Amino acid sequence: MAAVEGVEITGPRGDRYDEILTPDALRLLASLQRELGPRRAQLLAARETRQVEISAGGSFDFLPGSRQVRDDPAWRVAAPAPGLVDRRVEITGPTDRKMTVNALNSGANVWLADFEDANTPLWENMVTGQLNLKDTLDRTIDFTSDEGKSYRLAPDEELATIVVRPRGWHLDEKHLLVDGRRVSGSLFDFALYFFHCARRQLDKGKGPYFYLPKMESHREARLWNELREHSAGLNAGRWDYLFSIIKKFRSRGREFVLPERNSVTMTAPMMRAYTELLVKSCHRRGAHAMGGMAAFIPSRDPEVNATATAKVRDDKTREAGDGFDGSWVAHPAMVALCKEVFDAALGDRPNQLDRLREEVSVSAQDLLAVAKTPGTITEAGLRNDVSVALQYLATWLGGNGAVAIFNLMEDAATAEIARSQVWQWLHNGVTLDDGPLVTRGLVQRIMGEELDKIRASAGAAFDAPRYDQAVALFTEVALADTYAEFLTIPAYERMP
């Protein structure tokens, strides 16, 4: 790879990396970093200032300064781009070769090619993921696995539309420096995909589409672009919403303590307010409203499958009835069920943008009605949080960011909820509904017991060093007095 002024690659060189890390691509990345990096740093600092205000008793509301924009009925986003008109089923997943082929062939309308929550930012993953996207568009990704299974792309017209999710503004890419400083992970993912694949996508009649995650203000959105002319919609990211509620109000006492995560459903008052306002806001501007994730993955147990499938059907039926234009799944086996539900609601229409939901009225207080959320905080819930977090972190540190645990596909967002709930319960004097006060000692005892269960279940496959790392990381992000804003930041520093 030829040298580019001011750019230093500290990550190892791998097979075909030079096809992605080309001089011209690196020049684009360096240019974006130099232009946008200082503003990104200011916006991340503004998050800290806002958190101080919230912790001191502040709250969120609709900004008075943007009332004129909200009240203006005239403006609309651009018409849906090619490949994004009908989005009734979207599948998410990391960009490894197997997932790339399976997701594109799944029958979903869109594949969210994830460099963020469903991915571990190992240097190898970040570069080979870009290679896989390029190879997909060149139709050279077909391969045969070590087990002898053949993976071949369907014809282009049958493939899902690719939407790339780069990392959030808070994450760095430590293996590439511009002028001696780490480059933004967001800009790394965006620039390399845009440079190599934008023209390829346009030549196929589509375009370079992006899902922009983890933004905490309109100013952060504006750093990407003036999104009014470029927005394809919003997703009801239920896990990120719950994580954000816990994170922002973590030290505000019982009023902002949620029940254990598995008992918080989308029918809770604040979640209903959130989803209904999302549909109304999107459709008023001609943008798609996308439903939340169906995280269930098939089990060998028919009874488990039947129960979970019924819950997924109910969830998707509620979303379709609320006016959503489509929804997310985590596993190809759920595509047909989700499509069946939305087919019944949409019929021959590609979406239901005409459902304006003008009857919906939601206040800021409705969106923050944590205390009205039904549910419990039990020892079983605490154990689930601990076990899921440990299993996820051990696998994440090993290079896999989408992990099947207890018949659910877990990603970084659900792990964030698990560890954040433990931190919040510990630091707000929560007593379990069926047991003692949550203390460090209690959590540490449960950690040991859950680790013993994991070890027994894994048998010879148990990776003791990796779980030692996971225990240390969980202790840091769940039990320390200082709350880590994102577990992926200290976790990333533990990776090569």
* Per-residue model confidence (pLDDT) at position 228: 80
**Known catalytic residue at 411:** yes
Q: Is 375 helix (H, G, I), strand (E, B) or coil?
A: coil
Task: List alpha helices for 323-363, DSSP H.
Answer: 335-346
* φ, ψ (nearest 5 deg) of residue 140: -120, 15
Taking the complete model, does pTM exceed 0.95, yes or no? yes
Q: Is 176 helix (H, G, I), strand (E, B) or coil?
A: strand
Determine the distance from the C-alpha atom of residue 157 to the mean position of all C-alpha atoms in its chain, rounded to a whole number.
27
DSSP H or E stretch at residue 293: strand 288-294
Catalytic residue among 165, 252, 261, 419: 165
Are 121 and 185 within 8 A, CB to CB? yes
Give me the residue label for tokens 């509904």. Answer: 433
Domains defined along the chain, listed by start: 1-57+111-145+162-223 (3.20.20.360), 231-239+253-373 (no CATH), 376-493 (1.20.1220.12)
* φ, ψ (nearest 5 deg) of residue 421: -65, -45
**Known catalytic residue at 27:** no
Rg (alpha carbons) of the chain, rounded to whole number: 22
Provide the token pair at 90: 């979207």
Q: Which residues contact 492 (CB under 8 A, 6 or more apart)?
A: 121, 171, 172, 174
Rounded-to-integer distance, Cα 442 and Cα 454, Å:
18
Strand partners of residue 431:
437
Q: What is the tens place of the pLDDT at every residue in 2-35?
A: 689 999 999 999 999 999 999 999 999 999 999 9
Give the C-alpha distances (Å, rounded to integers) separating 455 from 306, 398, 467.
Answer: 29, 17, 9
Q: Which of 213, 184, 166, 173 is nearest to 37 (CA)?
A: 184
Rounded-to-integer distance, Cα 389 and Cα 447, Å:
10
Low-confidence ranges of the chain (pLDDT < 50): none
Are 59 and 364 within 8 A, CB to CB? yes
Amino acid at 411: D
For the chain, the maximum distance between any two Cα atoms, rounded to a whole number of angstroms, is 63
The total number of residues written for the chain in this structure: 496
Q: Which of 291, 382, 380, 283 is nearest to 341 (CA)?
A: 291
Rounded-to-integer distance, Cα 405 and Cα 390, Å:
11
Provide the token pair at 75: 């403006």
Catalytic residue among 87, 250, 411, 419: 411
* Per-residue model confidence (pLDDT) at position 298: 87
Rounded-to-integer distance, Cα 203 and Cα 198, Å:
9
